[in-house]
Structure 1
Amino acid sequence: MNKLLSFLKYVLLMSVSAFLMWYALKELDFQKMWAEFQNADYGWLMVSVVMGLLAYLSRAMRWQMQIKPTGHNPPLRNTYNAMMVGYVANLVFPRMGEVARCTMLRRTDNLPLNTGFGTVIAERIIDMLMLLLVVGLTFMVEFGRIRNFFLDLFSNKYATLEQSISSLYWVFWVMLISVVVVLIVGLRYLSLLRKNSLFRKAVQFVRGMLQGIFSVTKLENQFAFWGHTLFVWLMYYGMSLTVFYALPATAGLGWGAALSVLLVGTLGMAAPVQGGIGVYHLLVQSTLLLYGVPKEAGMAYALLAHTSQTLLVVVMGVISFMASMLRGAKPVEAEHSHTSTQAHELKR
């Protein structure tokens, strides 16, 4: 039954991506778009791919730094391989990559799954902060265009949202009251819960996850960690900018336009569909229209940027998966010892 539900969910998400791609392409002149590809300077596209490689390597180094304070020290090749396998998994099924990358490091370095999840959660929080910084910069530099873009995007949904706001308030209060009730009951019967093996396992899992989340506060070199974070996002920005130069229609766009594309492109890639397919293309094409770029050229840009980076992820992810499988799994004694230590701390 679970396999059937997973399959149906996968088909549904693929259908959404296919519909959005059809919607983005249905009114385009394919001869004009093909002319854009023929006149493209693919050297700039290769520069973008190299920036992508550097960004992934830097992310792997940053993740390795996060893991080290938890008592585990996987080599860079293992963190890189696990991360790239996770990115490939996200292309197959959204959000499966977080599970895949943590499972890979558990296999190669005995990193507990809960601790691995904790470090990934911390990574996502940091990326959210960086995205908010990009939002602020973009609105400062390109306020007029971006404001109009988002107003047009959400204006049709505003009436429905306004009608549903009272329902959202009710949902909020019901959830808040439920959480309070659960906390009160949990504190009241805490002594009994501590005797329950499932509760002890849950507490142990949460502790390991929190250890991963707060590993950022125990880094040996905070400067290097945040330097990697800044470098990664500068590479993302550079990837958006360099692809501009690959097409005649976008070659004259400036750094402000690249900020706008980075913002909406990141939002598109975060959509719960495989690899942001369809959502990314539609958002980027709509954004470039604000800068006077024709629809065909805007879609050509979106296809070049998205396809090149997707192929990079697939190629490097497959190589990383094969390298990890050939290297074999690490014996599990270390993880058992770590679990026993956590259980002893819980009893105390």
Structure 2
Amino acid sequence: MNLKNILKYLISLAIAGGLLWFTFKQSHLDVGDLMQKISAADYRWVLLSGLFTIIAHWSRAERWRLLLEPVVPQRPTSLETTVSVLTGYLANMALPRAGEVARCGTLYRLSAVPVNVSFGTVVAERLFDLLMLILLLGATFVLEFDRLSQFFMEFLGGKLPKGSSGSSLLLLAGAVVLGGALLAWFLFNRYREALGKHPLYQKVSGFLKGLLDGLLSVRKLRRPGLFVVHTLLIWTMYYLMSYTLFFAMPATAGLGMLAGLTILVVGSLGMAAPTPGGIGSFHLLVGQVALLYGLTSQDGQILATFIHGVSAVMIIILGILALLVVLLRRNKTTNLPDVLDDPKAIKLER
């Protein structure tokens, strides 16, 4: 690991620690009270959440196999892709964004699938997850509009004119967005030729084209219907992983299904932040959104810590088991050179 990567890791670790310290201080949460509440939880619900976690990771591995099917001659088994996915999640707990590389490297070790090809399928997979997150974000906003608008009204406080309502705020925001979009479209058409020569425009347009190509890659799938089924199954399991944990503690047992949806979406945004395993960012966002559903700041932070902790423990346990599988199967792949030294593993295909 070079100095640049070390600095990146230290910065992400510092951000995680700072956010975690801030959330605990803001909620006035006593660590002793936190441990007491978590130790008194009903762990039958934790076991059920763990089952949903395993199903989600297996389904993600199966969906990955569907993406690999039309682009590589190798046929990795369900065990090989599942082990690779779990290894990637374990790596993400230590280093943000390291999971994709570890996942593809493990799959190469197990089934000789070239890293550059498998990495491309992982990027395409992430695009579909991003699309699902956007759809869920929109659904959450529509279903919980009153609650969310009330939250933003209270958050903005005196910055809004007297008599302003959530509906008027939405209309104003919509008018601003529509006006901005029309202005941007006018300027784009007027200065398109000049913009086309600008490096920033070329980078942005190239990025957007890559996103579109990734989303359209589903047309190459041999079983697109099964791909959609696995995508829906993954996100359903993600929802149930956190929703079932509500019932493990008396303070959160009364939260409804919409609360589970909101926490799923907000928690996913927190996990996407550049911190190891979403530490700090997840706690901050989920702890704040829990206030919308009548929880105290302490109970909201306990819930966030509990959900994140259960998820982290499951990843560590499953990740260690995955590493053991890799080590046990090592004798079957001893003829493969190291991933970083093998040109076939990273060869760019045309």
TM-score normalised to structure 1 length: 0.78
**Which one-letter code corresponds to 1:61 in the other structure?**
E
- Provide closer, same or farther for how the CA distance between residues 279 and 337 of structure 1 changes in structure 2, counting only shifts above 3 A: closer
Cα shift at 1:322? 2.1
Corresponding residue for residue 67 of structure 1: 68
State the alpha-carbon separation in 2 of the partners of residues 303 and 119 from structure 1: 32
**Which one-letter code corresponds to 1:21 in the other structure?**
L
- Provide closer, same or farther for how the CA distance between residues 132 and 213 of structure 1 changes in structure 2, counting only shifts above 3 A: closer
The Cα offsets for residues 269-302 of structure 1, whole Å up to 9 and x where unpaired, read as: 0101001101101111111111110112111111
State the alpha-carbon separation in 1 of the partners of residues 343 and 5 from structure 2: 31
RMSD: 3.5
Corresponding residue for residue 54 of structure 1: 55
Whether the aligned pair in 2 keeps the contact of 1:122 and 1:212 (CA below 8 Å) is yes
State the alpha-carbon separation in 1 of the partners of residues 28 and 133 from structure 2: 31
Cα shift at 1:149? 4.4
Corresponding residue for residue 11 of structure 1: 10
Corresponding residue for residue 42 of structure 2: 41
State the alpha-carbon separation in 2 of the partners of residues 45 and 337 from structure 1: 43
**Paired residue secondary structure (2:238):** helix
**Which one-letter code corresponds to 2:28 in the other structure?**
L
**Which one-letter code corresponds to 1:69 in the other structure?**
P
2:221 to 219, 222, 229: 219
1:24 paired with 2:26, answer no
The Cα offsets for residues 290-329 of structure 1, whole Å up to 9 and x where unpaired, read as: 1110112111111111111111111111111221132122
Corresponding residue for residue 199 of structure 2: 178
Whether the aligned pair in 2 keeps the contact of 1:119 and 1:213 (CA below 8 Å) is no
Which structure 2 residues correspond to residues 195-214 of structure 1 after superposition, within 5 A? none
**Paired residue secondary structure (2:250):** coil
1:307 to 306, 309, 313: 309
The Cα offsets for residues 67-95 of structure 1, whole Å up to 9 and x where unpaired, read as: 11113311111111111111111111100
- Provide closer, same or farther for how the CA distance between residues 8 and 150 of structure 1 changes in structure 2, counting only shifts above 3 A: farther
2:231 to 214, 224, 229: 229
**Paired residue secondary structure (2:318):** helix
Corresponding residue for residue 292 of structure 2: 290
Which structure 2 residues correspond to residues 238-277 of structure 1 after superposition, within 5 A? 238-277=240-279
Whether the aligned pair in 2 keeps the contact of 1:58 and 1:228 (CA below 8 Å) is yes
1:121 paired with 2:120, answer no
Cα shift at 1:181? 8.1
- Provide closer, same or farther for how the CA distance between residues 151 and 53 of structure 1 changes in structure 2, counting only shifts above 3 A: farther
Whether the aligned pair in 1 keeps the contact of 2:113 and 2:345 (CA below 8 Å) is no
2:101 to 88, 95, 99: 99
Cα shift at 1:146? 2.6
Calculate percent identity across the aligned residue pairs. 37
More displaced, 97-106 or 271-280? 97-106
**Which one-letter code corresponds to 1:120 in the other structure?**
V
**Paired residue secondary structure (2:248):** coil
**Paired residue secondary structure (2:70):** helix
- Provide closer, same or farther for how the CA distance between residues 175 and 154 of structure 1 changes in structure 2, counting only shifts above 3 A: farther
The Cα offsets for residues 180-226 of structure 1, whole Å up to 9 and x where unpaired, read as: 789xxxxxxxxxxxxxxxxxxxxxxxx9xx99886532222222111
Corresponding residue for residue 114 of structure 2: 112
- Provide closer, same or farther for how the CA distance between residues 298 and 117 of structure 1 changes in structure 2, counting only shifts above 3 A: same
Aligned length: 305
Cα shift at 1:152? 6.8
**Which one-letter code corresponds to 1:51 in the other structure?**
F
Cα shift at 1:106? 1.7
**Which one-letter code corresponds to 1:41 in the other structure?**
D
Whether the aligned pair in 2 keeps the contact of 1:32 and 1:296 (CA below 8 Å) is no
Corresponding residue for residue 175 of structure 2: none
Corresponding residue for residue 85 of structure 2: 83
Cα shift at 1:245? 0.7
- Provide closer, same or farther for how the CA distance between residues 35 and 177 of structure 1 changes in structure 2, counting only shifts above 3 A: same
State the alpha-carbon separation in 2 of the partners of residues 312 and 302 from structure 1: 16
State the alpha-carbon separation in 1 of the partners of residues 78 and 236 from structure 2: 21
- Provide closer, same or farther for how the CA distance between residues 147 and 100 of structure 1 changes in structure 2, counting only shifts above 3 A: farther
Whether the aligned pair in 2 keeps the contact of 1:78 and 1:105 (CA below 8 Å) is yes
State the alpha-carbon separation in 2 of the partners of residues 143 and 288 from structure 1: 15
**Which one-letter code corresponds to 1:24 in the other structure?**
T
